[in-house]
Amino acid sequence: MSEDTLRLRAVRADGTERAAPPAVEPAARRDAFFDNAKYLAIVLVAIGHSWEPLRDGSRAASALYMVVYAFHMPAFIVVSGYFSRSFDASPGRIKRLVTGLVVPYVVFETAYTLFTRWTDQEPDRPVSLLDPLYLTWFLIALFIWRLTTPIWQRVRWPLPVALVIAMLATLSPSVGNDLDLQRTLQFLPYFVVGLLLRPEHFRLVRRRAARILAVPVFAGALAVAYWAVPRMSGAWFYHRDSAEELAAPSWYGPVMTLVTFGCSLVLVACFLAWVPGRRTWFTVLGAGTLYGYLLHGFVAQGSKFWGWYEPAWVHRPPGELLVTVGAAVLVTVLCTPPVRRVFRWVMEPDMAWAFRRDAREQARERNAVRA
């Protein structure tokens, strides 16, 4: 509830003013379960990036990497879709869409380009806002998905339609890299699933029976991934290439879209089954996951340039464990309130100067003043 609404409710019918109830802080309205889920998902994203250089010569590391990549971004996207259900393209929501996604996209796309000119030794790499670099694809994808939310809420069969779009995208390498549209289309069904979910669906996967069942499911997924490592490319779970670009027959694309979608949804459900619903020490960090997501990428990119993975001991179990813990600690620190305060000016800018005042908001303020 907005402060303006609370202020209006503080006026009696006879025009006299009474004490209004204190406004509820946003943090108090947040659901601990979803903040926990977002934090744990972003930790897995950072860990997955830290494992990437460890895969060479390690079948076990490659299997773990494949399993994590099968569900960490789908989980993040499903939750993003769930919280996009109320998007109605109103002026206030459009403003938040621009300030919360478009502005960070422009800033971090530029920053990553300049940074990787140095780390990748490509001084002429152009700054292109049409070709998302590294992690920035998610910002532009979420922007597109959220803008299309009213469409998915109106069509009769949103999930089948989204799956058909994703399947068709795998048939066409000409979709290209503009706005990372290939990945945006292939991940679209997960966002639509989030739009279709209701609170009772999350309560279903959080039952004790679901938590117990998740254990053998994850164990089975690891076993299958270990078997699959030398037999298939884990790039299918990246959803960024067509079948042709993965050196596979065209018909593989639609089939693998359905297979990976089914596998990923099962693992997402298992992941959510393990997420605690109570407030924990990391619940508050769930509000800063976008900070952790975008900022940890500079360390992930720089670690290779700085030679952190060159010592042989890093590729042994103790070194792999240290890398895993280090990635988790890093992204945790980057989600903390002090870091968010430092970078809020770019991640959540106010930019009131850039937008016209909403007529309804102005009318509410005038009515409040008259009262």
pLDDT in tens, 192-202: 999 999 999 99
Model confidence at 49, in pLDDT bands (50, 70, 90)? very high
The phi, psi pair for 279, rounded to 5°, reads -70, 135
Contact (CB, 8 A) for 211 and 274: yes
Residue type at position 190: Y
Lowest mean pLDDT among 17-31, 247-261, 336-350: 17-31
pTM of the model: 0.87
Return the sign of the alpha-carbon dihedral for residues 274, 280, 286, 292: negative
pLDDT in tens, 158-182: 999 999 999 999 998 888 678 899 9
Residue 110: left (phi > 0), alpha (psi -120 to 50), or beta?
A: alpha
Q: For residues 183 and 241, what is the distance between their CA atoms, to the nearest angstrom?
A: 7
Model confidence at 371, in pLDDT bands (50, 70, 90)? low
pLDDT at 57 (0 to 100): 78
The 3-state DSSP class for residue 32 equals: helix
Which candidate, 164, 153, 156, places its Cα nearest to that of 192? Answer: 153
Beta bridge partners of 11: 17
Q: For residues 147 and 153, what is the distance between their CA atoms, to the nearest angstrom?
A: 12
Q: In the 8-state DSSP scheme, what is residue 17?
A: B
